[in-house]
Amino acid sequence: MNKPWLPLQEHDNELFQLCERELLRQREGLELIASENFVSPQLLACVANPFTNKYAEGLPSKRYYGGCAVTDELERLAIARAKRLFKAEFANVQPHSGAQANSAALMALAAPGDTILGLDLAQGGHLTHGSPVNFSGKLYRAHFYGVCKETGRIDYDLVAAQARALKPKVIIAGASSYPRHIDFEAFHSISREVNARLLVDMAHIAGLVAADLHASPLPWADAVTTTTHKTLRGPRGGLILWDDVELTPALNRAVFPGTQGGPLQHVIAAKALCFKEASEAAFRTYQQAVVNNCRALAAVLVAQGMQLVTGGTDNHLLLIDLRHGKLSGKDFEQTLERVAITANKNMIPGDQRSPFVTSGLRIGTAAVTSRGMGIAAMGSIAAFLVRTHENHNNAQYLDELRQEVLALAQRFPLYPHW
């Protein structure tokens, strides 16, 4: 199978070499960033398609440009597959990203100046859930709930108490670094008690939801947003799902013309393929392996003395608590890169360090599972993490450890036909 970027070699060798170097980086090391994954070669090739040439502002059969007959069929196909996969009544496949999807959903559910209540960024939330540096914190009166100091888990009674006091227009459920199941029914009950809309951001767990390994937010939320990459293992993009027909005009208008112009139809083609792949039995097997691997990785790390937020995980990610260790999150991330392991620093509940330094490290198993790694490999990866942490000042040791990491990666080749 030819690489999709192969024609660049003669046309633009400088760009071609960058693509080759990035493929080599992904192949040689271990990708443990929880928000990253490896798409199928078919999906990667699908992004390079003729729909990249087409402007298609508006919705199928309601376009502002001519020549959209085939484009309309494409978008209807993607919508139908998204609805079927997540058992939703309605879908908008146009958002360019999860952040764009959240922007549109908030625009549809609230007005500037309204009060919103979301999970604190420093305790597992996302920038678009009300951070003061983000549009969500600038346009809305943002307040935050957190997690229990002792357990690291969401305390739904405390969320309810805050909601009663604040009377928010929108409550946002969902997280970017929360290793436990989220009780969407409990959030629904809270939102209805205070007459708030419930917006669920399931970007990180969408693949688990599609595989029925995490409860779906669709029966409980007014609107659900997600990315199409991460655990869903599709192209980088966004998606909005909902069941209430009365919200349809507001949500569609909030995407276009509210927050963006022409949709990326070539990416929507890849989204359609993603939804098809995620509906197959093999995808559920894969998602179960992601969860099993993450739990196994967590168990070995705990056994070897690492502290984890909440003590473990229910999903695809875990958070290492470094407050009592030798390294900050930033230092650990940079040291791991020396041994060809990619992870990301992350704030943890009660973190006293800045967001640029952090006291935590976020680890995910979606990408390494896509390469075919299983429980045995998780034991090796856990040992790599612990040994890197304990020997961070020993350059020769890290060089030798890097060779072990490269050897493990070679046993599970990425895109072996390229």
Q: Which one of the listed residues 226, 227, 228, 231 is annotated catalytic?
A: 227
CB 375 within 8 A of CB 365: no
Tokens of 402: 């890097």
255, amino acid identity: V
Tokens of 321: 């608590």
337 part of the active site: no
Q: Which one of the listed residues 31, 75, 120, 201 is annotated catalytic?
A: 201
Q: Which one of the listed residues 36, 55, 114, 155 is annotated catalytic?
A: 55
Pairing state between β 115-119 and 197-201: unpaired
57 part of the active site: yes
Q: Which one of the listed residues 169, 180, 230, 371 is annotated catalytic?
A: 230
Q: How far is CA 135 from CA 142, 223, 303, in A?
A: 11, 19, 42
Residues 6+ apart with CB under 8 A from 255: 92, 94, 95, 100, 101, 104, 240
Q: Which one of the listed residues 20, 28, 57, 155 is annotated catalytic?
A: 57
201 part of the active site: yes
- CA–CA–CA angle 173, 175, 177 (5° rounding): 160
26, amino acid identity: Q
Q: Half-sphere exposure (CA, 13 Å, Cβ side) for 178?
A: 29
Q: Which one of the listed residues 76, 83, 141, 236 is annotated catalytic?
A: 236
230 part of the active site: yes
Q: Nearest Cα to 124, choosing from 359, 356, 348?
A: 348
| 291 vs 213: CA distance, rounded Å | 9
Please give the positions annotated as active site: 55, 57, 201, 227, 230, 236
